[in-house]
């Protein structure tokens, strides 16, 4: 009897052990199932996030500007943001107001509004360009020509330019750079003969003058002080190297031109850009090119701030100057040098 009871106890114990093992197996299987289901949910959620991210990336593609105001003659480059893809094409709704090239560079032609469209990844993006006349266009300056010469003085060109101006009885404005002792006589002559002298800069090196506000102020005040010592004139007229609309300055200090344009005005200076370019420091190859660039862009409906240069060796402008003056006089234009009553000719700031 005792033997039977002992066998029964052993049998019951074995059954209990088997039931526990089976329970643990089922629990592990259930746990694995739950884990797999959780992982699948996580994967689905991650995939959903990736799809959403892709959709969001598409939505973030845009032009660098939705609206932009620029002035007649000014250029502005629109850029694609949010993707590395390039625009398939660019289009202007009104090419008489503004044109655009294959790289998104917009050129303002005349006052008005034009919508610039770019097609990127099958979708169109638009920017409204408002073109305005230069703020200086007024009744008092209509038909007036302001001849301006940058980057002098030079011993080979400046005195000959002064000779022509004297012969034609025309006054002009010279935005000068730092000058040597031997060239100081041309600075004195500019003032003595009734022309206006302004500051272009002690230096013309963008990397130096546009690296900070302090650097630019030193660049202006150093030359202003030197001109005052040479001539007795404390000029308050400046022309930014590259113009106030230059974009090269952004390589050295982002937003520096917005700072400087306001700063110089607050200090009592007036800065002058241009609305007629001779092209003598760029595309013009001959004196005839210079002549055409100037005469074709003159207008009696506004003031004409003409950009020329009197740097060494610039015979293109020298040889075209008399012809330009004669053409202007024959067609009813008048000449003036910049003075305290001259309204500012300012481009839009792009940095």
CA–CA dist 151, 312 (Å, integer) = 9
Cβ density class 232-259: b for 16+ within 10 Å, e for less: ebebebbbbbbbbbbeebeebbeebbee
The SS3 assignment for 273 reads coil
For residue 135, the tally of other CB atoms under 10 A from its CB is 11
Q: Three-class SS string for 301-342?
A: CCCEEEEEECCCCCHHHHHHHHHHHHHHHHCCCEECCCCCCC
- Verify whether residue 309 is a known catalytic residue: yes
User: For residues 219 and 260, is the Cβ–Cβ distance under 8 A?
Assistant: no
Catalytic one of 195, 309, 310, 347: 309
Residues 317, 319, 325, 331: what is their CA dihedral angle, to the nearest 10 degrees?
-100
**Of 238, 173, 171, nearest in space to 209 by CA:** 238
Catalytic one of 137, 150, 151, 273: 150
Check residue 154 and report its DSSP letter.
-
- Verify whether residue 204 is a known catalytic residue: no
* Tokens of residue 235, six digits: 């000029």
Instruction: Specify which residues 305 forms β-bridges with.
Output: 146
Listed as own residue / partner, the contacts of 228-236 with beta carbons closer than 8 Å and 24 or more positions apart are 230/184, 230/187, 230/188, 231/187, 231/188, 231/190, 231/191, 231/197, 232/191, 233/191, 233/197, 235/196, 235/197, 235/198, 235/199, 236/268, 236/269, 236/270
* Tokens of residue 326, six digits: 């004669």
Active site residue ranges: 150, 309
């Amino acid at each position: 009897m005792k033997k039977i009871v002992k066998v029964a106890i052993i049998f019951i114990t074995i059954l209990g052990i088997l039931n526990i093992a089976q329970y643990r197996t089922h629990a592990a299987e259930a746990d694995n199932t739950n884990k797999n289901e959780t992982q699948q949910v996580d994967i689905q959620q991650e995939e959903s996030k990736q799809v959403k991210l892709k959709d969001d990336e598409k939505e973030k593609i845009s032009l660098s500007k939705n609206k932009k105001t620029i002035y007649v003659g000014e250029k502005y480059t629109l850029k694609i943001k949010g993707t590395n893809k390039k625009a398939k094409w660019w289009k202007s709704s009104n090419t008489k107001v503004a044109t655009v090239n294959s790289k998104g560079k917009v050129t303002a032609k005349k006052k008005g509004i034009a919508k610039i469209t770019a097609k990127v990844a099958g979708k169109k993006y638009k920017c409204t360009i408002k073109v305005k006349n230069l703020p200086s266009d007024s009744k008092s300056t209509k038909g007036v020509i302001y001849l301006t010469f940058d980057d002098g003085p030079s011993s080979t060109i400046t005195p000959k330019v002064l000779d022509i101006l004297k012969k034609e009885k025309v006054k002009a404005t010279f935005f000068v750079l730092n000058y040597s002792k031997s060239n100081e006589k041309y600075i004195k002559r500019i003032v003595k003969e009734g022309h206006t002298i302004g500051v272009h800069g002690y230096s013309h090196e963008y990397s130096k003058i546009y690296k900070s506000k302090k650097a630019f102020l030193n660049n202006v005040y150093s030359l202003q002080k030197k001109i005052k010592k040479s001539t007795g004139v404390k000029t308050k007229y400046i022309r930014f190297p590259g113009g106030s609309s230059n974009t090269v300055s952004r390589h050295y200090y982002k937003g520096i031109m917005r700072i400087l344009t306001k700063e110089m005005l607050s200090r009592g200076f007036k800065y002058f850009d241009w609305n007629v370019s001779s092209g003598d420091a760029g595309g013009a190859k001959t004196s005839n090119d210079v002549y055409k660039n100037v005469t074709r862009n003159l207008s009696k409906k506004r003031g004409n701030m003409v950009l020329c240069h009197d740097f060494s060796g610039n015979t293109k402008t020298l040889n075209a100057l008399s012809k330009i003056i004669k053409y202007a006089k024959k067609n009813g234009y008048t000449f003036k040098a910049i003075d305290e009553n001259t309204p500012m000719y300012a481009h839009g700031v792009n940095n």
